[in-house]
């Protein structure tokens, strides 16, 4: 029986070694490493792995530990005695733990290089060899291109230094939305990364605001920081109330409509909006007041006719209006929408934006993210442009009216403005740093250095 177990363990070890070797060789080929055959040699394969990921030190440490494990196994056969066995066992544990730690670092980097979700590390921990083979030979998974691995790994770790600093509000206004995001950071595979930095502005009540920015510029992160969903190092004030300090109270005064329609299709429109009112409105709001508010919102958004019909029977434009109604019924002072026109044709999209403009005209602040702004740009009062600086950190490149934006960037359309601050690798002009600093200088000189 012991002999059978030994044979089984040897076969299992050989299979694990073979799977890891084949998987690593395929990954090295995808990473364009010149010597993928290094994967067949103990120690050397980790050096190749680290070099391909531009982490040579981690690769050399892993390679040395793999050699160390092999040497310890040999010594366990040669040396006898209780003390020698205990020492080698302890040494083996230390070496294996060191290999494990540095191997995780390489795998985390590999996950980043392939643009995968962080949860992939769980697959590496549980099924390392199989996961390596899947990444190596599946056409679905390919490494990111367009920049060096080091640049991708270091993105966001060091904001670009600017000669001019953006002017910040001396104190939060008691009317409207006051935003002062000093920075928003996060841990990414153990590294501190800056997502946003130096974004300050005051938005008056009654403003219909367009939020622009290329992919990765930080639009969603900015919105989450403003509405208090993900706190930043920031001071956010809505009509004189600090959003972060009094979030439990002020969250009822903020509405957010995500890109996806999160609605049960089996309910009627009236019940859907009514349930939202019941859950979101303060408990001291009586039923007659609640019903009155529901009817007011349905009338405003053109949903009264057919409000007894099932949600599942409604068109795409109607579904978006229902999603808006579910948030608007709480009578928010700040209303944020992520691509409310997603998947809608021009006529229906204009209808949605016209309704949103009417909501802003009642004295609320309505902020919208959209990828097709030019078809309704005349409806907006303000434009916020976020851009990634050369350090890949989201920053404020402009805040003002659409006409002021055209003059500032020297462009005729909002889409051209976005392209002017996008990176050249993304098909843009790569002028983000220029406009970020230009706007900071503008805020320093405008009205004696007051914020825009």
- Model confidence over 12-43: pLDDT tens digits? 768 888 888 898 899 898 888 888 888 898 88
Which residues form the domain of 104? Answer: 2-146
CA separation for the pair 14, 24 (Å, rounded)? 15
**DSSP-assigned states of every residue in 306-367:** TTTSBGGGS-HHHHHHHHHHHHHTT--SEEEEE-TTTT--HHHHHHHHHHHHHHHTTT-EEE
How many Cβ atoms sit within 10 Å of the Cβ of residue 279?
A: 9
pLDDT at 168: 67
Say yes or no: 182 and 137 in one domain.
no
Among 146, 162, 190, the domain-final residue is 146
| Structural domain includes residue 323 | yes
Q: How confident is the model at residue 357 (pLDDT cuts 50, 70, 90)?
A: very high
pTM strictly above 0.85: no
Number of domains in the chain: 2
pLDDT digits (tens, 9 = 90+) for 215-268: 778 899 999 999 998 899 999 999 989 999 998 888 888 988 876 666 676 678
Query: Given strand 254-257, what is the order of strands in its sheet?
Result: 241-242, 233-238, 177-188, 191-203, 394-400, 382-388, 208-213, 365-369, 334-338, 254-257
Same-domain status, 137 and 225: no
Q: Are residues 142 and 203 in the same domain?
A: no
Query: Is residue 50 a contact partner of residue 106, using CB atoms and an 8 Å limit?
Result: yes
Q: Which of 96, 130, 146 is the last residue of a domain?
A: 146
Question: Domain for residue 164, yes or no?
Answer: no
pLDDT band at 452 (very low <50, low <70, confident <90, very high): very low
Domain harbouring 376, CATH code: 3.40.50.300
Least Cα distance to 400 among 259, 180, 203, 264 occurs for 203
Same domain, 248 and 358: yes
User: Rounded distance, CA 144 to CA 291, Å?
Assistant: 52
Whether residue 430 lies inside any domain: the answer is yes
Name the 3-class secondary structure at 28: helix
Give the confidence band of 451 by pLDDT, cuts at 50, 70, 90.
very low
């Amino acid at each position: 029986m012991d002999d059978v177990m030994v044979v089984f363990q040897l076969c299992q070890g050989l299979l694990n070694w073979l799977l890891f070797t084949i998987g690593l060789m395929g990954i090295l080929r995808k990473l364009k490493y010149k010597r993928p055959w290094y994967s067949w040699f103990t120690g050397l394969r980790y050096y190749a792995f680290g070099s391909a990921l531009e982490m040579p030190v981690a690769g050399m440490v892993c390679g040395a530990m793999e050699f160390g494990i092999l040497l310890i196994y040999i010594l366990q056969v040669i040396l006898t005695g209780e003390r020698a066995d205990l020492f080698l066992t302890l040494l083996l544990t230390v070496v294996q733990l060191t290999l494990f730690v540095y191997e995780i670092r390489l795998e985390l980097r590999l996950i980043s290089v392939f643009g995968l979700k962080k949860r992939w590390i769980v697959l590496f921990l549980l099924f390392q060899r199989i996961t390596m083979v899947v990444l190596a030979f599946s056409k679905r998974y390919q490494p990111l291109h367009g920049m060096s691995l080091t640049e991708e790994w270091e993105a966001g770790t060091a904001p670009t230094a600017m000669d001019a600093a953006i002017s910040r509000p001396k104190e939060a206004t008691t009317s409207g939305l006051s935003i002062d995001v000093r920075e928003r950071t996060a841990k990414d595979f153990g590294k501190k990364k800056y997502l946003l930095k130096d974004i300050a502005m005051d938005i008056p009540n009654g403003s219909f605001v367009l939020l622009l920015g290329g992919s990765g510029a930080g639009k969603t992160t900015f919105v989450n920081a403003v509405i208090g969903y993900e706190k930043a190092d920031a001071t956010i004030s809505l009509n004189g109330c600090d959003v972060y300090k009094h979030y439990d109270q002020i969250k009822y005064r903020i509405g957010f409509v995500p890109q996806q329609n999160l609605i049960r299709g089996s309910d009627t429109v009236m019940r859907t909006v009514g349930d939202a009112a019941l859950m979101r409105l303060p408990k001291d709001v009586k039923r007659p007041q609640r019903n009155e508010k529901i009817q007011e919102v349905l009338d405003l958004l053109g949903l009264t006719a057919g409000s007894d019909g099932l949600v599942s029977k409604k068109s795409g434009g109607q579904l978006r209006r229902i999603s808006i109604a579910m948030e608007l019924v709480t009578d928010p002072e700040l209303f944020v929408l992520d691509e409310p026109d997603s998947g809608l044709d021009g006529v229906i999209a204009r209808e949605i934006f016209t309704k949103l403009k009417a909501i802003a005209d009642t004295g609320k602040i309505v902020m919208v993210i959209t990828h097709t702004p030019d078809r309704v740009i005349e409806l907006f009062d303000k434009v916020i442009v976020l851009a990634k600086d050369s350090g890949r950190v989201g920053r404020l490149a402009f805040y003002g009216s659409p006409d002021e934006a055209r003059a500032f960037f020297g462009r005729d359309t909002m889409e051209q403005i976005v392209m002017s601050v996008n990176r050249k690798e993304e098909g843009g002009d790569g002028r983000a740093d220029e406009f970020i600093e230009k706007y900071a200088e503008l805020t320093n000189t405008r009205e004696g250095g007051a914020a825009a």
